[in-house]
Structure 1
Amino acid sequence: MFKEFKKFILTGNVIDLAVAVILAGAVGLVVKGFVTDIMMPIIGNFTGGVDFADLKYILSPATVGTDGAIIKPENAVMYGNWVNSIINLIIVGFVLFMIIKAYNKTKKPKEEAPAAPVGPTQEELLIEIRDLLKK
């Protein structure tokens, strides 16, 4: 059983998959950093300094005691994080689109298959059958 597992693990497909998963995680961190640290401040500048991560709809406000301690925390829908996720998705989708578009340009165009020889039409076949039956 150990030999089978070793053979399975050392095949190229499993190693390729592991490398792809690790790279995907690293690329995810890079994209998240790009969106959070570069794109969102630019978008926030055009929207009047709004930071989408801070946008929320408060369902029930926090209750603070006389000593300043929070008795009951705030309950809020943090829809700003969702907006950030959508912007992240759009950026990743656009980058993947550009990569695939560039990759497709590097591929050789497929040669068109030669056209199939044109055979007799249905009417010609019927005429030929008729003539054979007359003989």
Structure 2
Amino acid sequence: MFKEFRTFIMRGNVVDLAVGIVIGAAFGAVINSFVKDILMPPIGLALGGVDFTNMYAVLKEGATAGPYDSLASAQAAGAVTMNFGVFINVIISFLIVAAAIFFVVVKPLNMIAAREAAKKAAAAVPAAPTTKDCPYCSTSIPIKATRCPNCTSELK
């Protein structure tokens, strides 16, 4: 059973999937940091100093009544909040990841597939005929022949 399990684990697809998941998680962390630490502060500044991570709506007051200075203080007080600023950050992160995957993976693969399809289409073009049928005896003769070698008929 252990030998069979080892064979399963060492298959290329399983290893590739594992590597993809690890790289994807690391890529997700980089994108989250990019959105949170690089992209959103200038956008918030351009919108008048808005901090998207602290955009929330209090649905139910906590142990201490609001207003709360930040989302963290509202959650620490036990308030029930709808965190739409965090959702905006997640949407922007998703769009960046989707764009990166499209331009880095999907677009190049589509270009390669189109090139391969063009090669196959060019190879599928039939070659020019090298023979023709004699109109008198219906035998196959070279295309440049002026007389049929079988029935000796003169061809146009």
Aligned-pair CA distance for 1:26: 0.7
SS at match of 2:50: coil
Alignment-derived partner of residue 101 in structure 1? 107
TM-score by length of 2: 0.62
Q: Distance in 1 between matches of 2:5 and 2:52?
A: 48
Q: Distance in 2 between matches of 1:90 and 1:17?
A: 23
Aligned residues: 110
- Unmatched 5+ residue regions in structure 1? 116-135
Aligned-pair CA distance for 1:86: 0.8
Alignment-derived partner of residue 114 in structure 1? 125
Q: What letter is aligned with 2:2?
A: F
Q: Distance in 1 between matches of 2:2 and 2:19?
A: 23
Q: More helix per residue: 1 or 2?
A: 1
- Unmatched 5+ residue regions in structure 2? 66-73, 127-156
TM-score by length of 1: 0.71
In terms of Rg, which structure is larger?
2
Name which of 78, 81, 86 aligns with 2:83.
78
Name which of 88, 91, 97 aligns with 1:92.
97
5 Å-filtered alignment, 1:42-81, equals 42-64=42-64, 73-81=78-86
Alignment-derived partner of residue 7 in structure 1? 7
5 Å-filtered alignment, 1:121-132, equals none
Q: Distance in 2 between matches of 1:103 and 1:50?
A: 40
Aligned-pair CA distance for 1:34: 0.6
Aligned-pair CA distance for 1:73: 2.2
Alignment-derived partner of residue 21 in structure 2? 21
What is the percentage of aligned positions where both structures have the same residue?
A: 37
SS at match of 2:31: helix
